[in-house]
Amino acid sequence: MGAANSVRRRAPASHNVSEQKAAGNEAKQCAETEKPAGRATISTYNAIPNARKSPGHARTECEQPPPTKPGATEIQQYARCLMRGKGAATDGSPICVVGLCGRICRGSRPTDFETLLGPAEDQSEQEAARLTWLVGPDGLETLIKKAARSNTTAEAETTAALPPVINMLMSVGYTVLDTYRGIVKNGNSYLLVVMPAADMNARLATWDGLLEVLRECYPDLAPHLSSVWPDLERDSTTLGFDELERRYISEDFPPLSGLHQESVSKHISRARLGELGAEGKLRTHHVRAWLFVAANVRKNFRGDGYTWLASGEKGNEEWIMRNRRIDEMDSVATVPLGQPTSDQVTKYVCEQFKAEQRLAEQRRPDEAKISAAIKLQAAFRDYTLRQQQKHSETAANQQSVLPQQQSSASCESETEWRPTPAEFTEALRRGDKLPRSKKLAGLCGRVCRGTRATHFLGLAELDGQRRVVFMLGSDGLEMVLRTLHMPLQLLLYLGYDVLFVYEEIMRGAVFELVVIAESSEAGVVPATWQRLPDVVAASFGKDGKRLSTLVEKHLPQMQKESFYDLQQAYTHPKTGVVMSMNEARRKPVESESSDEPPWRMTENRLLQLQNCRTADVRAFLYHAMNLNNLYSGDGYTYTQEGGRGFREYLAPNKQKEELGVEWSSCPIGMPTIDECMEEICRAYDKLIERKMLGY
């Protein structure tokens, strides 16, 4: 786009006198209207129309006849329709948004709304933001569609109770984690600023448009950015963001994915970028990382002028411009969008996360993309290892280690620690740490949970629902000893789903670790495909043998086919509709015998099927034994990203007194609700990102 027309032109006759008067009356009405609690109002700055040249835009249904250049009347009309949650004016005429753009500002203090992006004078003594991102005309239309209908009283003409703004934010590219942190932790409220695009010298967010704005905002960097820009555009398309980030991390910079305010100083700075440019050492990964940190050019930026939503869908147009003070901008309207409650945000996130989890289990995994993700994780681990090595001497001096005086039964070699279950749990209670030179051996464990004392009599609740439980081996217990001060991370390391942890905490559950000695007497066996028939036979009483025979019969096919393929084959015999195993597992116990899909495959239902399919057996293992989509059958846990975790074992659910081996238990600390919600948001965003990438 070219620069905005600098000559102020006379407004067309249709905008003179009558429309100026109408705009003035509207502005006066807004100024005189008090803002009730929970209501939104319109405020304006310099609300006299000045019709400057607006950028061209593809015609929409509202462009009949061709619109005049946008002035205060159009801007205020849009703002009022947004407040009322309607796409038409009170007289029924369509709203024209051609030539308009908008910025959703956020903050918890009045100074946060001085400019389009934060305080005019940054309170953290860092350089104030120089450029900002805008939604285009189609984005403004989307915001109106997302706004729910408000009250129909006469006061809705000037004020309206806006719905939670979450859907609106997500529709223009906000992440769930940013939204949750902003609302719940920072107390943010949101303000929409509507403005004429041409008057603001806004540009479509293409690679060329971004470079133009950067030249305007950072004239000292303009030559350096221009020299590498063609290569940056090429590498961003051919290599992708992950590869550029990997190269950036290889130079001892921190991962961009973990960017937060405290870590900004560790990333490449504007001054360093200029130095590299002057030395002829500036590379595309340096510029891409700096854009990520300084200009908020996130991972999903493609440079085609559109947002790309976390779901992988093409969104609306996005625009960019130099950051400006709102009170110095002509012909703009500001519309407070309200502030959702913590409960509203939590409910939205949990519901969406559940839905995406169900969909994720039904997608065919892309092995190549999973491999690429694992490589990036390896780069993160390498960076972390380098950082740990730098501080290893200091950490060694400060680290509290296990007591040197151990019984002969506890220390059989210099590199192996074989404690009794009681010695291990006592070390946990004291908060001892295991030296990295030591390896734990000879124990396995189980994390139990419940809300009453009777829930902890066995390895799981003894209500007949859990016949088989998962156990962790010595490597998992070793991680317990290292991360006991981080209970949520501990549970996630051990394979717990974060949403499940959150729901358990909300119902008042507590967690306990049971440690037992490795022994065949307790029936603990590696969680491999080959051992499943034996575990089933030993755990399901009189039906165990029949169920074991079915599992053994279909075992080769289950090993051969992916979970995705078996999930697609889990269809209703009469309708042929695919039944979600994940959704069926969440059904209440009383519905297990119901014929209504999706079926929860209990042992009774499986035995009653006349023509048992491999998918039916796989559903039984999922529902009755908790072998979900991450179960690989090689004896190890796996993350959603495909990374291998710890050794895992299976055992019959028994009372602790019937285990036949020495055991000991101790409580595990409780994660906070806020920790769980942050992790749910983070997991949800990752889930959506994997969906976008195709795995």
Whether the Cβ atoms of residue 19 and residue 73 lie closer than 8 Å to each other: yes
78 vs 243, which has greater pLDDT? 243
Cβ–Cβ < 8 Å for 282, 224: yes
Q: Which two tokens stand for residue 319?
A: 């625009």
Place of tokens 């915001």: 143
The Cα 367–Cα 347 span in angstroms is 33
- Tell me the three state secondary structure of residue 133: strand
Q: Which amino acid is at 380?
A: F
pTM above 0.75, yes or no: no
Q: How many residues make up the chain in this entry?
A: 695
Higher pLDDT, 407 or 468: 468
What confidence score (pLDDT) does residue 1 get? 37
CA atoms within 13 A on the CB side of 51: 16
Tokens of 434: 């295991």
Across 11-25, 277-291, 469-483, least confident range: 11-25
pLDDT bin (cut points 50, 70, 90) of residue 118 is confident
Q: 343: number of CA atoms within 13 Å, CB side?
A: 1
Measure the CA–CA gap between 248 and 243, rounded to whole angstroms: 9
DSSP-derived secondary structure for 445-511: EEEEEESSGGGGSBSS-TTTT-SEEEEE-HHHHHHHHHHTT-HHHHHHHTT--HHHHHHHHHTT-EE
Cα–Cα distance list, 244 to 224, 232, 239, 254, 287 (Å): 18, 10, 7, 13, 10
Question: What pLDDT sits at residue 66?
Answer: 37
> What are the two backbone dihedrals, phi and then psi, of residue 176, each rounded to the nearest 5 degrees?
-65, -40
For the record, the structure tokens of 289 come out as 């990382």
Q: How large is the angle between the packed helices 241-249 and 367-390, nearest 10 degrees? A: 20
Q: In 268-341, which ranges are continuous DSSP H helix? A: 270-279, 284-294
Calculated CA dihedral for residues 305, 165, 137, 316, nearest 10 degrees = 30
Q: Are strands 636-638 and 332-338 parallel, antiparallel or unpaired?
A: unpaired
Element (DSSP H or E) covering residue 102: strand 100-107
148: pLDDT strictly greater than 70: no
Please work out, in degrees rounded to the nearest 5, the angle formed at the alpha carbon of residue 282 by the alpha carbons of 277 and 283: 160
Give yes or no for a contact between 585 and 524, defined as CB atoms under 8 angstroms apart.
no
Residue 1 near residue 209, CB atoms below 8 Å: yes
359 or 574, greater pLDDT: 574
Q: Helix, strand or coil for residue 413?
A: coil
Residue 665 or 388, more confident: 665
**Between vectors from CA 221 to CA 218 and to CA 226, what angle results, nearest 5°?**
110
Report helix, strand or coil for 137. helix
Q: pLDDT at position 19, please?
A: 41
Q: Are 510 and 667 in contact (CB under 8 A)?
A: yes
Pairing relationship of beta strands 306-308 and 314-322 according to DSSP bridges: antiparallel
Sign of the Cα pseudo-torsion (172, 178, 183, 188, in order): negative
Query: What would the two tokens of residue 383 be?
Result: 């960076």
The confidence score (pLDDT) of residue 44 equals 40
**Euclidean distance between CA atoms 649 and 217, whole angstroms:** 58
- Terminal Cα-to-Cα distance of the chain (whole angstroms): 37
Query: Residue 633 has what DSSP assignment?
Result: S
Task: Compute CA 506 distance to the chain's CA centroid, rounded to the nearest angstrom.
Answer: 21
Please give the helix or strand (H or E) that residue 360 lies within, else none: helix 342-361
Query: Looking at 142-146, 424-428, 675-679, which range is the least confident one?
Result: 142-146
Say yes or no to pLDDT of 161 above 80: no
Give the confidence band of 558 by pLDDT, cuts at 50, 70, 90. Answer: very high
- The alpha helices in 332-449, defined as continuous H runs, are 342-361, 367-390, 392-398, 421-430
SS3 143: helix
Burial letters for 140-163: b for 16+ Cβ neighbours within 10 Å, e otherwise?
bbbbbebbeebeeeeebebbbbbb
Q: Which tokens in the block code for residue 376?
A: 């990036």
| Residue-range domain boundaries for the chain | 25-203+323-340, 213-300, 367-384+414-525+639-693, 529-625
Tell me: the pLDDT tens digits for 81-111? 777 666 666 666 667 788 889 999 988 888 8
Task: Give the E-state strand segments of 150-216 in sequence order.
Answer: 189-196, 203-204
Whole-angstrom distance, CA of residue 498 vs CA of residue 489: 9
Please give the backbone phi and psi of residue 555, each rounded to the nearest 5 degrees, phi first: -60, -45
Q: Are 248 and 288 in contact (CB under 8 A)?
A: yes
**Diameter of the chain by CA atoms?**
98
Distance CA 457, CA 587 (A): 25
Alpha carbon distances (Å) from 560 to 557, 563, 614, 617: 5, 10, 11, 14
Q: 527 and 630 in contact (C-beta within 8 Å)?
A: no
Question: What does the pLDDT average to over 306-318?
Answer: 77
pLDDT for residue 282 is more than 90: yes
254 token code pair: 């921190």
Looking at residue 386, its pLDDT comes to 52
The rounded percent of the chain whose pLDDT value lies above 70 is 69
Pairing outcome for strands 314-322 and 203-204: antiparallel
The whole-angstrom separation of Cα 554 and Cα 535 is 15
Between the ranges 18-32, 80-94, 106-120, 178-192, where is the mean pLDDT highest?
Answer: 106-120
Residue with token string 């949101």: 190
List, for residues 441-492, the tens digit of each pLDDT value. Answer: 889 999 898 888 888 888 888 877 788 999 988 988 888 887 767 788 878 8
CA distance 255 to 267: 9
Q: What does the alpha-carbon distance between residue 309 and residue 105 come to, in Å, rounded to a whole number?
A: 19
